[in-house]
Amino acid sequence: MIFISAISCNNGKSTDKTQNNDTIPDKPEYNQDSASEDVAILMINPDGETEYVVGNTNNIYRKTKSGLEFKYIESGKTQTYPKVGDVVYFDMTYATANDSVVFDTKLIDPNFKMRITPPSHAGGCFEEALMMMSVGDSMAFKIDAKNFLQITQGKVFVPSYVKEGDKFIFRIKMKKLVDGSDYAIQNAETYKYYIDQENSLIERYALEIDYPRKTTKSGLNIFTISKGAGKKPVDGNLVTIDYTAGFIDGSVFDSTIERNKPFRFVVGKEEAIECLDEAVKAMNVGDHCLLIIPFRLAYGEEKNGVVAPFSTLVFEVELLSAE
C-alpha cells in the first residue's frame, strides 16, 4: 500500500489559477507504477476538512468546497483556467452510475464547444467542473443528475430511470480555451454574414405567409393563424403547449403532436428556449401561431442535436393552457 497526501489549496499557484475559482485543487502526481495498487490518501479539502481514503487511485474522488466530486485522469501542462464568458472546446461523455452512456459529444460534433456560464446550482455543478479544468486535463466528475437535467439543462421532465440522489458520471477532456472577448472578435465577421443572410431569408419566407405578423424587439416573428379567447400568460405561470418544430426549409425535427404529449414549462424560469418564453407571453390561451426564430434566439452558433449552427427555426405553436 502506498501513502499519498493530497492537499487542495491555492498557495504558491499562479494568478491564472485563482482568478475565476478559488477552489481549484492542486493536481495530484501519482507514481505511474502505483496506478493499479491500493493507496492511502489523506485529503485536505479547501474547507479545511480532512478525509482518509483507502483504495485504487482510479476510483477515488475528491471534493471541492462546494461539494463537487472529481478526480484527475490525466493532467495537462498549463495552469490557465476558463472563466465565465470564455469558450471551451472539449470531448465529454456522461453516464449513469452503472456506466450506461447518456450523452457523447463525439456523436454530436467532434469540435464540440460551449460558452461558460455562471454556476447553475449549488452543491457542485457542470459549470464549476469546466472552470476547474485547464487545457490538456482529463477529469471525471460526479454531479447530481436531477440538478443537471432540470436546472443546468432546463428540462421539465426527467427520465424515469433518474432517481432522487442519483449522480451522472462526467468524463471530460479539455481541448482548447478561447477568451470570450477574443472569440467574439474572431467570429464577428462570420456572425454578421449569417445575420445578413438570415434576415434576407426570413423576409422571403414571410412573403409566402398570409397571416397577421408581429415582430418583437428581439427579432422574433409571430404570425397569428387563429386567435383564442383565454388569458395571456405571465412569468410564473405553468403553460401547456403543442408545437411542431422545424427548419425554414420545411423539414420537421420535433413534434409534441406526433408524440401525443404536450410540452409544459414555467414561464420565466428558463425551462424552455428563450424564444418560447417570449412567444407565449405575447399569446393568449387558445392562440395558434407560427414563429420564425432567428438563430441568435435559438441555439446560436452552437450545434444542438439535429440543429446545425446558425439554424433559423420555425415553430407552429398552440397555447393550450396557462395556470
Given the residues 72, 89, 194, 315, select the one marked as catalytic: 315
Q: In this structure, what C-alpha cell is assigned to residue 12?
A: 504558491
Q: Of 287, 270, 285, whose CA–CA distance to 233 is shortest?
A: 285
253 among known catalytic residues: yes
Q: Residue 60 — very low, low, confident or very high, per pLDDT cuts 50/70/90? A: confident
Q: Of 218, 180, 200, whose CA–CA distance to 297 is shortest?
A: 218
241 among known catalytic residues: no
Q: Please check whether residues 143 and 221 belong to one and the same domain.
A: no
Q: Of 120, 145, 165, whose CA–CA distance to 271 is shortest?
A: 120
Range of the domain at 275: 198-322
Q: Residue 28 — very low, low, confident or very high, per pLDDT cuts 50/70/90? A: low
Q: What is the mean pLDDT of residues 98-104?
A: 94
Judge whether residue 56 has pLDDT over 80: no
Q: Long-range contacts: 270-279, Cβ < 8 Å, 24+?
A: 270/154, 271/154, 271/155, 271/156, 272/154, 272/156, 273/297, 273/298, 273/299, 275/218, 275/220, 275/313, 275/315, 276/241, 276/243, 276/315, 276/317, 278/216, 278/218, 278/220, 279/220, 279/222, 279/315, 279/317
Res 50: pLDDT: 61
Classify residue 193: in a domain, yes or no. no
* 152 in Cβ contact with 127 (< 8 Å): yes
- Kindly report which listed range (29-43, 126-140, 161-175, 220-234) carries the lowest average pLDDT score: 29-43
Q: What is the mean pLDDT of residues 292-320?
A: 88
Q: Of 105, 85, 91, whose CA–CA distance to 178 is shortest?
A: 85
Decide the pairing of beta strands 288-293 and 313-322.
antiparallel
Classify residue 192: in a domain, yes or no. no
72 among known catalytic residues: no
Question: Which residue bears the cell 495498487?
Answer: 37
Q: Please check whether residues 169 and 202 belong to one and the same domain.
A: no
Q: Please check whether residues 46 and 121 belong to one and the same domain.
A: yes
Classify residue 252: in a domain, yes or no. yes
Given the residues 94, 265, 299, 310, select the one marked as catalytic: 299
Given the residues 103, 157, 161, 253, select the one marked as catalytic: 253
Res 7: pLDDT: 43
129-170 pLDDT, tens digit each: 999 999 999 999 999 999 999 888 877 678 899 999 999 999
Classify residue 186: in a domain, yes or no. no
Q: Please check whether residues 139 and 215 belong to one and the same domain.
A: no
Domain boundary among 115, 148, 178: 178
Q: Of 105, 127, 129, whose CA–CA distance to 116 is shortest?
A: 127
Whole-angstrom Cα distance, residue 294 to residue 311?
A: 8
Share of the chain above pLDDT 90, in %: 52
Given the residues 148, 194, 223, 243, select the one marked as catalytic: 243
- Kindly report which listed range (113-122, 182-191, 196-205) carries the lowest average pLDDT score: 182-191
Whole-angstrom Cα distance, residue 139 to residue 160?
A: 28
Res 274: pLDDT: 82
Domain boundary among 144, 178, 212: 178
Classify residue 31: in a domain, yes or no. yes
315 among known catalytic residues: yes
Q: Please check whether residues 270 and 242 belong to one and the same domain.
A: yes
Share of the chain above pLDDT 70, in %: 81
Judge whether residue 49 has pLDDT over 70: no
Given the residues 273, 277, 292, 295, select the one marked as catalytic: 273
Q: Please check whether residues 133 and 250 belong to one and the same domain.
A: no
Q: What is the mean pLDDT of residues 263-292?
A: 91
* Entry pTM: 0.57
191 among known catalytic residues: no
Q: Residue 96 — very low, low, confident or very high, per pLDDT cuts 50/70/90? A: very high
Q: Of 103, 111, 105, 104, whose CA–CA distance to 301 is shortest?
A: 111
Number of domains in the chain: 2
Q: Please check whether residues 213 and 64 belong to one and the same domain.
A: no
Whole-angstrom Cα distance, residue 23 to residue 124?
A: 11
Q: Please check whether residues 174 and 46 belong to one and the same domain.
A: yes
Q: In this structure, what C-alpha cell is assigned to residue 246?
A: 422545424
Classify residue 62: in a domain, yes or no. yes
Q: For position 245, which CATH number holds?
A: 3.10.50.40
Q: Please check whether residues 78 and 132 belong to one and the same domain.
A: yes
* 94 in Cβ contact with 102 (< 8 Å): yes
210 among known catalytic residues: no
Q: Please check whether residues 218 and 146 belong to one and the same domain.
A: no
Q: Please check whether residues 157 and 113 belong to one and the same domain.
A: yes
Judge whether residue 121 has pLDDT over 60: yes
- Kindly report which listed range (52-61, 78-87, 200-209, 286-295) carries the lowest average pLDDT score: 52-61
Pairwise pLDDT comparison (60 vs 209), residue with the higher score: 209
Res 246: pLDDT: 92
Whole-angstrom Cα distance, residue 239 to residue 319?
A: 7
